[in-house]
């Protein structure tokens, strides 16, 4: 290990504790100490192998402050969609009650700001919300997070409308680079059911880093559907960690979308800890220009009879880079494990790069595990077919690219969200430079 140490990020001081419980102050201090001791992942860290952190770590970030955002609720509807349920809005990692709509929250559901919850909680009750640090960025989040959402659904309760968490970065474009550290906790008690959407957006071309951490804790038989939609500005960087704990007969599904940011990485860790738990991870990344989108997942089959399904697709244009690492571990005794993983990528231009690593690590024998990865391009036969029917070269390619992506769009179960994402995806494809495409073509012709 050659951890990165002396960097801008590691030099940020802890802010004034401002009324925090002493246990929380102590915890933040020890998290920061952990970062100081362990540094940040270097290039020889398998989980970060293809993601160079050097430039990011050198940026002199300052902690993001709450500001009076010019944002309005109706502007938010356009930006992140309105799914008809409660909405909790955080600006620069701080809760913004004016933009939030809490009236929709069903009575017996607790959906509040994590800060409020922690200030009312004893240390013993909060210990599971702060697992011992294992990861520099999660530790950094523990040290600096100001707020996020706290959701708790009691047993046998179904939350009809999705709960929408919106994380906005905002501030003057010429301001110093800011670090926002939203942190959320979702607890679904036994046999409860709920959908949570996390949207990450930014208002201005300002240099920012969102270092998010979300924990989803399910109890037996609970069912949680989760979305992370990242569409931050091109000046932003985004690092997200989603940690999921699944006991017996629980069901979880996640959907990770990466559209924005210059450097974005979403990591998901799922522990299948109880018999018969089921998990489904889906993802779509569409970097272009010089964007870097990384997705790292790990599914840990600890108990027998669990099922996992994983499908990630990438469309890479311009000089962008995509990274996928999907690990499935089957522990001794986790018999009757059924795991299936697939990663498919479409490279649209010269200069784009994809690095993919599906991984199986199997220590039980009664299992059925498969994985597959593919990298390819549009089917030229199909392009020709469309052109022969009078569709132009670019339109034909866009149509086929969209067809590749549409499988992922079909998996979105919330109609309002689906429309919004379809629109965002179409925009991403459209914006992807006719001239880049022409260059590719020219390059191909030259090389023949």
Site of interaction with another protein (CB under 8 A): 50, 332-333, 335, 345, 347-377, 440, 444, 447
Q: Give me the DSSP letters along 173-201.
A: TTSPPEEE--EEEEEE-TT-EEEEEEEEE
| Nearest to 284, CA basis, from 417, 89, 92 | 417
**Pairwise CA distance, residues 63 & 175, whole Å:** 12
Considering beta carbons, is residue 230 or 345 the nearer one to another protein?
A: 345
**Cβ distance to another protein smaller for residue 45 or 189:** 45
Complex with another protein: residue 374 or 431, whichever CB lies closer: 374
To another protein, the closest distance from the beta carbon of 422 in angstroms equals: 25
How many alpha carbons fall within 13 Å on the CB side of residue 414? 23
- Least Å from the CB of residue 370 to another protein: 4
**Is the C-alpha dihedral spanning 79, 80, 86, 87 positive or negative?**
negative
**Of residues 370 and 419, the one with the C-beta less far from another protein:** 370
Closest approach of another protein to the CB of residue 365, in Å: 4
Alpha helices in 69-201 (DSSP H): 73-80, 114-119, 123-126, 136-144
CA distance 391 to 232: 33
3-state secondary structure of 224: strand
CB 357 within 8 A of CB 324: yes
For another protein, give the closer residue by CB, 68 or 365. 365
Closer to another protein by Cβ: residue 156 or 368: 368
Query: How far apart are CB 350 and another protein at their closest, in Å?
Result: 6
Of the pair 15, 443, the CB lying nearest another protein is at 443
Contacts with 270 (C-beta within 8 Å, 6 or more apart), sequence order: 244, 246, 252, 279, 281, 297, 298, 299, 300, 308
The total of other beta-carbon atoms located within 10 Å of residue 132's CB is 10
Q: Which is nearer to another protein, 189 or 335 (CB)?
A: 335
Q: How far is the CB of 435 from another protein (least distance, A)?
A: 16
CA dist 98 and 379 (Å) reads 50
Q: How far is the CB of 367 from another protein (least distance, A)?
A: 6
Q: How far is the CB of 376 from another protein (least distance, A)?
A: 5
**Closest approach of another protein to the CB of residue 386, in Å:** 19
Give CA torsion, residues 314, 407, 267, 10, to 10 deg: 50
């Amino acid at each position: 290990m050659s951890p990165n140490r002396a960097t801008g990020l590691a030099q940020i001081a802890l802010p004034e504790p401002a009324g925090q419980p002493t246990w929380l102050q102590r915890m933040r201090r020890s998290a920061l100490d952990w970062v100081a001791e362990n540094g940040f992942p270097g290039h020889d860290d398998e989980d970060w192998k293809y993601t160079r952190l050097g430039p990011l770590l050198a940026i002199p970030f300052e902690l993001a402050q709450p500001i009076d955002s010019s944002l309005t609720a109706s502007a938010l509807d356009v930006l992140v969609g309105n799914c008809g349920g409660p909405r909790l809005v955080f600006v620069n990692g701080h809760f913004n009650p004016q933009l939030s709509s809490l009236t929709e929250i069903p009575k017996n559901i607790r959906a509040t700001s994590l800060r409020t919850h922690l200030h009312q909680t004893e240390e013993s009750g909060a210990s599971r919300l702060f697992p011992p640090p294992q990861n520099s960025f999660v530790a950094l989040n523990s040290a600096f997070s100001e707020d996020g959402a706290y959701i708790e659904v009691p047993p046998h309760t179904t939350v009809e409308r999705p709960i929408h968490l919106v994380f906005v970065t905002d501030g003057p474009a010429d301001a110093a680079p800011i670090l926002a550290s939203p942190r959320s906790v979702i607890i679904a008690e036994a046999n409860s059911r709920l959908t949570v959407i996390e949207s990450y957006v930014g208002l201005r071309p300002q240099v920012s880093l969102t270092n998010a951490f979300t924990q989803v804790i399910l109890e037996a038989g609970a069912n949680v559907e989760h979305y992370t939609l990242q569409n931050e500005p091109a000046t932003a960087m985004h690092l997200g960690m989603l940690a999921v704990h699944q006991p017996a007969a629980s069901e979880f599904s996640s959907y990770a979308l990466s559209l924005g940011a210059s450097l974005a990485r979403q990591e998901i860790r799922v522990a299948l800890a109880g018999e018969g738990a089921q998990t489904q991870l889906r993802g779509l990344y569409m970097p272009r220009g010089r964007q870097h989108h990384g997705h790292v997942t790990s599914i840990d089959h600890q108990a027998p009879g669990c099922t996992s399904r994983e499908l990630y697709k990438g469309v890479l244009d311009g000089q962008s880079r995509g990274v996928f690492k999907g690990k499935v571990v089957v522990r001794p005794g986790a018999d009757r494990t059924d795991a299936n993983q697939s990663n498919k990528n479409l490279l649209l231009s010269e200069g784009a790069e994809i690095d993919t690593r599906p991984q199986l690590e199997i220590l039980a024998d009664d299992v059925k595990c498969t994985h597959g990865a593919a990298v390819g391009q549009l089917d030229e036969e199909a392009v020709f077919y469309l052109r022969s029917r009078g569709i132009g070269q670019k339109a034909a390619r866009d149509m086929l690219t969209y067809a590749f992506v549409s499988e992922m769009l079909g998996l979105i179960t919330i109609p309002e969200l689906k429309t919004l994402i379809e629109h965002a995806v179409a925009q991403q494809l459209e914006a992807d430079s006719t001239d880049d495409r022409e260059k590719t073509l020219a390059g191909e012709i030259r090389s023949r």
